[in-house]
Structure 1
Amino acid sequence: MTLKPLIPLLLAAAVPAAFAQGDREAVHTFQVDLDAQGRVTSIDPVDAIPDATRAALQAHIANWRFEPRDGATQATRTYLRVATAGESSATSTPRIISASTGPAMTHLTQPVYPTSELRRGEGGVVVLEIAVGADGRVHDVGFHGDRQQATRSMAQAARDAALAWQFTPEQVDGQPVASTVVVPVCFMAVNPDPYSCTWQGPEARNLSRYAVVNLDPVVRVDIPSQQIAGF
């Protein structure tokens, strides 16, 4: 069995049991700008997205409510991260697994899979709490929660890799701001089952492997529950 560590940008979230086995999973990032009154002025994809998928997602996003932190009366910019399963076609649209706001992930390096665990075929989940500076660089990496579902070697490998990651920070009044994000790193088989790598986030919420949580986003998003497929 071939194993490798997985970080959220590279593999999609655990999918609902109702999802088809062959569903394509992906993460799409949008830049969202709000004016000083908290009104959305633009929602633009950061990376290339197929036209049909982009149109379908933007139609959903147009109905979501974005709220500046603490009722800020300054222009803000955030990055909306949307995990999906399935593809757009004449008869269907991608199903939304999760969506969150925060800094955009721009450069991620894979952790090195510890040799002993790789030889044994052992997997695990490391949940990192990462301090991202206003410069987009990682300033500190800790572990989120009291217990990690991984060996000490996996935890160290995940932390070492995260120290080199880079982000595009959120902005308030045109100035980049620091943030703290919680990110799962999964050491697992290449073909995981639908519930592989779930983890417990803030407020004891069970989250999928594609979920990234910003502990203090400059803009929060409120999404109708019926539009989220969950996992």
Structure 2
Amino acid sequence: MTEPAPLPRSAPPLHEDLLDYTPTQRSVPLARRRAARLVAEWGQPGLAGDAALVVSELMTNALLHGSLRGRLIRVHITVDPRTLRVEVSDPRGERLPRPRPVGEVDEQFGRGLLLVGALATRWGWEPRSVGKTVYAEWDLPTAAAETGIPVHLLIDRDTCEVKVHSRPDGRRYETVQTLPFGKEVALPEPVGIALDTEPLKNWVR
């Protein structure tokens, strides 16, 4: 990704947290634990683990490739009715995030971004007057229901469960099915396929 891809903000946040961290390794677990706690408290426990992991990866990238002595790294987390968004801002605007091929095992920076891309609905970066912001976003089930997406699948690695949302009524999903990892998950029509969730056990932290 070589160009910023800012997205319009759909609504004022329902919840918001902004905190600056010193550019030290100690800040990474602090930011990770704070993100997990806040996202769960804000009513999205199924995304708390993934959001915390993404914050950890983006913080680590900022430390390795975006930090300057005496300048802080900012973590900004918001939830609005449609989206969970995490941002990590650093002062090095010339060091842009670029994922690396999986085979380049020494590129910790690029591998972390591959993980971010796998966990989030989307990610990108935006320029600042000084530095840059790297963000990741997750579409919430409410947003999917409002746009008429017939089936919304959520994988919760903290509880080892899969949640299938279906039958959108324009505001929410009328049906939510929860199954543990290892069970076959039947996605209703119009998707109409069955998923083997046994391999998801390998993703449990």
Fold match (TM-score > 0.5): no
Structure with greater strand share of residues: 1
User: Which structure has greater helix proportion?
Assistant: 2
- Which structure ranks higher in relative contact order (CA pairs < 8 Å, sequence separation ≥ 6)? 1
TM-score (ref. length: structure 2): 0.30
